[in-house]
Amino acid sequence: MPRRILVLLAHPAHRRSRANAALRRAAGEVEGATLHDLYETYPDFLIDVDREQALLREHDVIVLQHPIYWYSCPAILKEWLDLVLEHGFAYGHAGTALAGKALLSAVTAGGTETAYGPAGLNRHSLADFLRPFEATAHLCRMRWLPPFIVHGTHLLDAAALARQAGAYQALLRELREAPAAPRPAPPAAAAGRA
């Protein structure tokens, strides 16, 4: 059975974004993928936690699609993470709702790949800056997938952008058809706890 994919879009100025717009269109053409634009849904940042948790329960693969802003994600995605992935739902002894689901970061950056390296301006790879998302996946007992990264977005011509969007779409289709991983068992209770 195909896996259900939830693409959480977080771009505060998506109308000015060529790269995220191309990725959005590509994801929208993947059967079984649900596009969920956080800025459109919550322009006031008043996130409906129950609705968001229900969406997470209904999907097998969660994609965080966003530009890199100050080495992290746009504000609404951080707010979403803070509120939606709460103790008892996403983590903690009883928080197993996301266990076994996959988490993918799909990000765009204006800087080139060489700018994101030990000798580059940013001194670290973009994958290094995504470590908090990887740690989040681990805490929530999710499977962290290798990130999909588009570097140097301002340098990409239409053909290069189309190739990146095609690669993203192919990855989402591959994830849709991949067999689901078994859900991990909840952690054993700590010694001395009832």
pLDDT tens readout for residues 132-162: 999 999 999 999 999 999 998 989 999 999 9
Domains of the chain listed by start with CATH number: 5-176 (3.40.50.360)
Q: What angle do CA 59, 108, 28 make, to 5 degrees?
A: 40
Residue 13 binned pLDDT confidence (cut-offs 50, 70, 90): confident
Residue 34 binned pLDDT confidence (cut-offs 50, 70, 90): very high
**HSE toward the beta carbon, residue 189, CA cutoff 13 A:** 5
Phi, psi of 78 (to 5 degrees): -65, -45
Model pLDDT for residues 54-105, shown as the tens digit of each residue: 999 999 999 999 999 898 999 999 999 999 999 999 999 999 999 999 999 9
**Prediction pTM value:** 0.89
Tokens of 188: 């054993």
Which residue in the block uniquely carries the two structure tokens 């983590």?
Answer: 91
Neighbours of 144 (CB within 10 A): 18
Residue 38, pLDDT score:
97
DSSP state of 149: E
